[in-house]
């Protein structure tokens, strides 16, 4: 926690990062739609892509696709490939039909995919044109969730980046406001809201908001906390609108959450004693909940394969609060600035890797034989069949894991596979 | 991929952008395979476009060959790679790998998965089969056949293969090769050794069988043994082609379905309205079972694979229903609503539609979810398959006695039909209200759906309507309203309700 103040020395040596490229076993950014559409309740996500894209969403969303979802795929067919003009007309028609059928939609995202990017279908233009047409009733925005540009959670980054220009401006003379950036489960959002209230920090807003009309203001007096580590582009867009990012650990575990809240408290000049008093109960609860799992996890070696960019902060949490030893921490993309504090807390022996050549990486996993490997569902069962314990990574994106009250659950997610391994006698 | 994953010693190099690897998890999760599918993706990214996607592909192919040492390599392009116009076939050929390279042309903007599997299998067979391998003389040996079509992610393919092997064993016939499931390129090479082919799944094996017939004069049996009648036909055809005696195989004592269906307990199944949708093979087979072996009335029949539209139209005509050939599940939903079935037989999608409308449902075809790759033996084919089908389809129906009780005691507070059948507790109103508060909360949901024309019902008529069993209530409501409209009546009262009943009873 005092990494930066070591007697004026150069910052602690950071481990070398292994950069690889080869086959990447990751989701594309379209997957973000699955949680984004639950969060933004008056938004619809229309992917412009191929059957592969539709199939991906169907597989990834599992059962959810049957609950009259607010996403769909406009499938590019062969005749669309012949002439561009057609494509635009067809999209117009489709959007017309969609908005007639679902008049409650306030934001429509046209989401670009690999095929639409490769044929250079200008969805930006389409969005502008349609936006003018539906002005007053539905905003029509655009971002890309294509696999050639985005990896998994970067889809959320791209989506939020598209929302930033839509946020109303706050004047320079307005009071400071706090923005929490990154989609969080409602229950977590409410917990944070209560904590900020008790601390006396406010007004606090969340991006994304539940409804388009509730999009928060942003301006030079806005400070923001990232709830998620994968929001590089959104951070840039907010900074360009004058907002300032508060540097903090990400709110995982007792320490991470405390540090994250402290950054906001300091920005709002909250008294240290008051801060400690407000934070103490939650922090203690978190520590107690984590302690239950410590026995199972302490000293265990863990490898993360790249997936969501959550790998770094989670490895930090598991190391500092549960005593696990990260062997390799892979991330699809490493933003050193956003993760500076996280990096400083990882043990120097950690092998960091950015990008992936999955076969080489699996060779390393087999050589390292970590006690637990965090990986995607395409790799989990095959690794289990080789006798390696795994924790499938997607759950970390879909489950509530942020904040004090979820710290125990978060630890449990990693403890469970190991416990199960001990229980089973078949 | 389903073909590549099914096979051994074969590797597939797929030119595809990052993210397409999601397909892996269909195999590792839904089918719970303990191995990664033998597929290498090039996973190119935006920064690669326009310069080195071709060399990325070549490197991936070379590395895959070195790492996995396959006996044959498939190469192809995904929908995105199709657009960037690298030529996987030419690029792979230029590498001069010491194994056969099979290029796949899968036009993803025109065709779909089943077609892709059939085409891939056909390409594999065509390129690898050794035309000089022919059956040995028949004297002194048992007939030899190939089983074509079973593959990865196939609905009950694993157990169907066992069941068909058992049937053939009883007939005194040996199996030369099952393909693509578990076959290696070397097995494909010797397909010609068999006397004839059995096309278990026309969706996957049909094309390859056609080519084998042309190139090697290997005839094919195309009757799919799903259902007791179809199994008997299958046995008779196979026996005739192989020149063996079918008597013993036909008299399988394990075939319990015919008696189960004849037992008085099953009389309440008579005339139950059933809606069937799935891949053409399973849907058509299901229709025959429903009609001939369970005594159901078919009120809807359709498939999602248009390659088999002709067969589907013929079957639908046979049962006097409109064929539904579509891959739009909203269209299927509409058709189900219009048909007001008492049982839906379909895929995972229809299962969800049926759940939403509170209609019993059983799964007969892919796409299916993980629960339909069961640990226990559960074939669809052969006599054991018919046993499985009987249990599976009857289970979701309200049991006969329960149905009577529901009608008799409908106003009893703890026995009302609002509570739903006991075994469909998942759809019971209390649970549903908690889980999905936005949904209409009573079981008579068909009746709750908004109709295009809202005609007022008198309280009396509404009360009477409630006495109609819930599974036909929606239909009665719609019929009555249509009748009232056609008669120019402004509201539905008791008289209108019974006039309509009389009208439709004709």
Contact criterion met (CB < 8 Å) for A151 and B19: yes
What is the structure's pLDDT at B443?
39
Q: Any chain B CB within 8 A of the CB of A22? A: yes
Q: Do B21 and A26 touch (CB under 8 A)?
A: yes
Chain B residues touching residue A29 (CB < 8 angstroms): 19
* B182 within 8 A of B3, measured Cβ to Cβ: no
In chain A, residues 47-86 whose CB comes closer than 8 Å to chain B: 50-52, 55-56, 59-60, 62-63, 66-67, 76-78, 80-81
Q: Is A28 in contact with B19 (Cβ distance < 8 A)?
A: yes
Q: Nearest residue of A to residue B24 by CA position?
A: A378
Q: 3-class secondary structure for B245-281?
A: CCHHHHCCCCCCHHHHHHCHHHHHHCCCEEEEEECHH
Nearest neighbour of A27 by CB, restricted to B22, B46, B349: B22
Q: For tokens 């069937």, name the residue.
A: B276
Mean pLDDT across chain B, nearest whole number?
87
Contacts of A267 (CB under 8 A, 6+ apart): A176, A178, A223, A246
- pLDDT over 60 (residue B260): yes
Residue A360 at interface with chain B, using a CB cutoff of 8 Å? no
pLDDT in tens, B102-144: 999 888 777 788 889 999 999 999 999 999 999 999 888 999 9
- From the list A23, A81, A148, the residue facing B49 with the nearest CB is A148
pLDDT band per the 50, 70, 90 thresholds, residue A359: very high
Distances (CA, A) of A87 to A83, A100, B36, B82: 7, 20, 37, 18
Min Cα separation B439/chain A (Å): 10
Contacts of residue B373, Cβ cutoff 8 Å, sequence gap at least 6 = B30, B31, B32
Note the pLDDT of residue A67.
60
The model's pLDDT over A42-60, given as tens digits with 9 standing for 90+, comes to 999 999 998 888 888 877 7
Q: Which residues pair with A111 in a beta bridge?
A: A47, A143
Nearest CA in chain B to A154: B19
Q: How many CA atoms lie within 13 A of B315 on its CB side?
A: 28
Angle between helices A407-423 and A253-267 (to 10 degrees): 170
**CA–CA separation, B254 and B233 (whole Å):** 17
Residue B101: predicted pLDDT: 95
Is the confidence at residue A14, as pLDDT, over 60? Answer: no
- For the stretch B32-37, contacts whose Cβ atoms lie closer than 8 Å and that sit 24 or more positions apart, written own/partner, are B32/A381, B32/B370, B32/B373, B33/A381, B33/A382, B33/B5, B33/B152, B34/A381, B34/A382, B34/A384, B34/A385, B35/A382, B35/A385, B36/A378, B36/A379, B36/A382, B37/B1, B37/B4, B37/B5, B37/B12, B37/B152
Q: What is residue B429's predicted lDDT score, i.e. its pLDDT?
A: 40
**For residue B78, what is the nearest residue in chain A, using CA coordinates?**
A52
Q: Which residues in chain A are contacts of B369 at CB distance < 8 A?
A: 62-63
Report CB contact under 8 Å: B349, A66.
yes
Q: Which of A20, A24, A78, A119 to mutate to test the interface with B (most CBs of B within 10 A)?
A: A24
pLDDT at B403 over 80: no
Question: What's the pLDDT at B441?
Answer: 35
Q: What is the mean pLDDT of residues A276-289?
A: 95
Span A387-420, pLDDT tens digits: 999 999 988 998 899 999 999 999 999 999 998 8
Residue B405 clears pLDDT 70, i.e. is over it? no
- Three-point CA angle A358, A360, A362, nearest 5°: 65
Nearest to B21 among A25, A29, A80 (CB): A25
Whether residue A332 is predicted with pLDDT greater than 60 in this model: the reply is yes
- Asked whether the beta carbons of residue A23 and residue B349 sit closer than 8 angstroms, the reply is no
Whether the pLDDT of residue B29 is over 90: the answer is no
What are B110's two structure tokens?
A: 């025109």
Mean pLDDT of B419-434: 44
Mutation to test the B interface, candidates A52, A72, A119, A363, most B Cβ within 10 Å? A52
Tell me how far apart the alpha carbons of residues A150 and A288 are, in angstroms, rounded to a whole number. Answer: 38
pLDDT tens digits, one per residue of B197-228: 999 999 999 999 999 999 999 999 999 999 99
Q: Which residue of B2, B14, B20, B22 is the best one to mutate when testing the A interface, meaning the one whose CB has the most A CBs within 10 A?
A: B22
Contact A381 B43 (CB under 8 A): no
Buried b (16+ CB within 10 A) or exposed e, B370-408: eebbeeeebbbbbbbbbbbbbeebbebbbeeeebeebee
Residues of chain B with pLDDT > 70, as a percent, come to 88
Residue of B nearest to A53 (CA): B20
A158 touches chain B (CB under 8 A): no
Burial class (CB in 10 A: 0-12, 13-18, 19+), B486: exposed
Candidates B32, B50, B80: best to mutate against A (most CBs of A within 10 A) is B80
pLDDT on residue B428 = 40
Closest residue of chain B to A362, computed from CA coordinates: B36
**Structure ipTM:** 0.80
Please count the residue pairs, one from chain A and one from chain B, whose beta carbons lie less than 8 angstroms apart: 134
CA of residue A305 relative to chain centroid, distance: 16
Q: How many other β-carbons are positioned within 10 Å of the β-carbon of residue A244?
A: 14
Task: Give residue A8's pLDDT band: very low, low, confident or very high (50, 70, 90).
Answer: very low
Measured between beta carbons, the chain A residues lying within 8 angstroms of B67 are 359
Instruction: Give the angle B42-B75-B130 at the CA atoms, nearest 5°.
Output: 155
Residue of A nearest to B25 (CA): A378
User: Which pLDDT value is given to residue A5?
Assistant: 37
What pLDDT is recorded for position B430? 38
Any idea which of A131-135, A298-302, B375-379, B489-493 has the lowest mean pLDDT?
B489-493
Run of H or E including B423 = none
Residue tagged 């609503």 (tokens) = B337
Of A55, A146, A382, the CB nearest to B36: A382
Q: Are the C-beta atoms of residues A196 and A204 closer than 8 Å to each other?
A: yes
Residues of B in contact with A25 (CB under 8 A): 21, 24
Q: Which residues of B touch A377 (CB under 8 A)?
A: 24-25, 28-29
| Average pLDDT for chain A | 90
| Alpha-carbon B379 to chain mean position | 13
pTM, rounded to two decimals: 0.82
pLDDT band at B447 (very low <50, low <70, confident <90, very high): very low
Contact (CB<8Å) A380/B42: no
Determine the Cα–Cα distance for residues B36 and B4; give it in Å rounded to an integer.
11
Question: Any chain B CB within 8 A of the CB of A409?
Answer: no
Residue range B334-351, pLDDT digits in tens: 999 999 899 999 998 899
CB proximity list for A423: less than 8 A, separation 6 or greater: none
pLDDT tens digit string along B360-375? 999 999 988 888 999 9
Q: CA-CA distance, B312 to B210, in Å (whole number)?
A: 20
What pLDDT is stored for residue A6 in this prediction? Answer: 36
Of the candidates A292, A288, A355, the residue with the CA atom closest to the CA atom of residue A328: A355
In this predicted structure, what is the pLDDT of residue B506? 54
Residue whose C-alpha is closest to residue B15's, from B74, B59, B58, B78: B78
- State the catalytic residues of B: 265
Residues 116-155, chain A, touching B (beta carbon < 8 A): 117-119, 146-149, 151
Residues comprising chain B, all counted: 506
């Amino acid at each position: 926690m005092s990494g930066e103040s070591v007697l004026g020395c150069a910052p602690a040596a950071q481990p070398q990062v292994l950069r690889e490229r080869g086959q990447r076993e990751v989701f594309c950014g379209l997957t973000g739609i699955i949680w984004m559409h639950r969060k933004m309740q008056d938004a619809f996500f229309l992917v412009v892509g191929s059957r592969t894209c539709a199939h991906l969403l169907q597989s990834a969303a599992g059962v959810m696709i049957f609950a009259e979802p607010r996403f769909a795929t406009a499938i590019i067919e062969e005749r669309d490939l012949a002439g561009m003009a057609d494509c635009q007309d067809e999209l117009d028609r489709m959007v017309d039909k969609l908005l007639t059928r679902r008049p409650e939609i306030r934001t429509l995202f046209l989401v670009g995919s690999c095929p639409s990017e490769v044929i250079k279908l200008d969805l930006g233009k389409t969005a502008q044109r349609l936006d003018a047409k539906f002005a007053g009733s539905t905003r029509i925005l655009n971002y890309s969730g294509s696999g050639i540009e985005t990896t998994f959670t970067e889809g959320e980054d791209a989506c939020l980046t598209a929302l930033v220009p839509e946020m109303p401006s706050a004047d320079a003379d307005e009071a400071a406001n706090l923005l929490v950036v990154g989609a969080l489960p409602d229950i977590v959002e409410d917990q944070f809201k209560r904590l900020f209230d008790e601390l006396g920090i406010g007004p606090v807003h969340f991006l994304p908001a539940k409804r388009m009309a509730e999009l928060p203001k942003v301006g030079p007096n806005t400070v923001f906390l990232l709830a998620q580590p994968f929001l590089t582009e959104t951070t840039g867009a907010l900074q360009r609108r004058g907002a300032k990012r508060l540097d903090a650990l990400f709110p995982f575990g007792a320490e991470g959450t405390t540090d994250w809240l402290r950054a906001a408290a300091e920005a709002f000049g909250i008294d240290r004693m008051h801060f400690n008093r407000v934070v103490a109960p939650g922090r203690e609860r978190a520590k107690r909940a984590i302690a239950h799992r410590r026995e199972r996890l302490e000293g265990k070696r863990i490898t993360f394969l790249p997936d969501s960019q959550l790998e770094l902060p989670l490895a930090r949490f598991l190391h500092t609060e549960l005593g696990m030893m990260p062997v390799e921490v892979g991330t699809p993309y490493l933003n050193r600035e956003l993760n500076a504090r996280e990096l400083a807390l990882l043990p120097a022996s950690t092998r960091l890797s950015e990008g992936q050549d999955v076969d080489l990486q699996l060779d390393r996993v087999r050589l390292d034989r970590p006690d637990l490997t965090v990986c995607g569902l395409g790799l989990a069962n095959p690794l289990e069949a080789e006798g390696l314990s795994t924790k499938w990574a997607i759950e970390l994106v879909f489950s509530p894991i942020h904040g004090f009250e979820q710290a125990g659950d978060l630890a449990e997610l990693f403890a469970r596979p190991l416990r199960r391994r001990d229980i089973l006698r078949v | 991929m389903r073909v590549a994953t099914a096979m051994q010693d074969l590797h597939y190099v797929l030119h595809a952008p990052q993210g397409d690897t999601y397909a892996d998890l269909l195999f590792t999760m839904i089918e719970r395979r303990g191995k990664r599918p033998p597929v290498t993706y090039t996973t190119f990214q935006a920064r690669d476009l326009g310069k080195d996607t071709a060399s990325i592909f070549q490197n991936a192919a070379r590395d895959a060959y070195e790492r996995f040492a396959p006996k044959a390599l498939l190469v192809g392009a995904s929908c995105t790679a199709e657009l960037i116009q690298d030529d996987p076939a030419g690029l792979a050929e230029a590498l001069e790998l010491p194994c056969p390279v099979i290029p796949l042309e899968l036009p993803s903007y025109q065709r779909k998965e089943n077609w892709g599997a059939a085409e891939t299998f056909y390409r594999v067979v065509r390129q690898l089969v050794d035309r000089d391998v022919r059956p040995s003389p028949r004297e002194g040996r048992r007939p030899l056949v190939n089983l074509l079509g079973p593959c990865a992610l196939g609905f009950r393919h694993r157990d169907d293969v066992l069941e068909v092997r058992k049937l053939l064993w009883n007939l005194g016939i040996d199996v030369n090769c099952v393909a693509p499931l578990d076959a290696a390129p070397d097995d494909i090479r010797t397909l010609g050794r068999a006397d004839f082919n059995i096309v278990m799944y026309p969706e996957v094996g049909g094309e390859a069988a056609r080519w084998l017939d042309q190139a090697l004069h290997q005839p094919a049996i195309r009757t799919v043994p799903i259902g007791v009648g179809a199994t008997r036909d299958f046995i008779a055809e196979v026996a005739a082609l192989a020149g063996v005696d079918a008597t013993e195989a036909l008299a399988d004592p394990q075939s319990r379905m015919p008696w189960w269906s004849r037992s008085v307990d099953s009389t309440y199944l008579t005339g139950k309205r059933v809606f069937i949708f799935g891949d053409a093979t399973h849907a058509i087979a299901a229709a025959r079972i429903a009609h001939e072996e369970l005594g159901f009335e078919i009120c809807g029949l359709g498939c999602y694979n248009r390659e088999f539209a002709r067969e589907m139209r013929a079957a639908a005509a046979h049962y006097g229903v409109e064929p539904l050939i579509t891959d739009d599940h909203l269209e299927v939903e509409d058709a189900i609503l219009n048909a007001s079935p008492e049982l839906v037989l379909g895929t995972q999608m229809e299962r969800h539609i049926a759940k939403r409308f509170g209609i019993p449902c059983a799964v007969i075809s892919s796409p299916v979810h993980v629960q339909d790759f069961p640990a226990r033996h559960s074939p669809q084919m052969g006599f054991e398959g018919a046993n499985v089908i009987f249990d599976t389809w009857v289970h979701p129906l309200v049991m006969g006695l329960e149905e009577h009780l529901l009608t008799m005691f409908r106003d009893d507070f703890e026995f009302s039909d609002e509570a739903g059948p006991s075994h469909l507790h998942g759809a019971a109103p209390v649970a549903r209200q908690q889980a999905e508060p936005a949904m209409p909360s009573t079981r008579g949901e068909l009746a709750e759906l908004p109709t295009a024309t809202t005609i007022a019902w008198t309280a009396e008529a509404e009360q009477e309507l409630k006495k109609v069993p819930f599974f036909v209530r929606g239909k009665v409501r719609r019929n009555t309203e249509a009748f009232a409209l056609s008669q120019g009546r402004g509201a539905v009262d008791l008289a209108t309700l019974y006039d309509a009943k009389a009208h439709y009873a004709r």
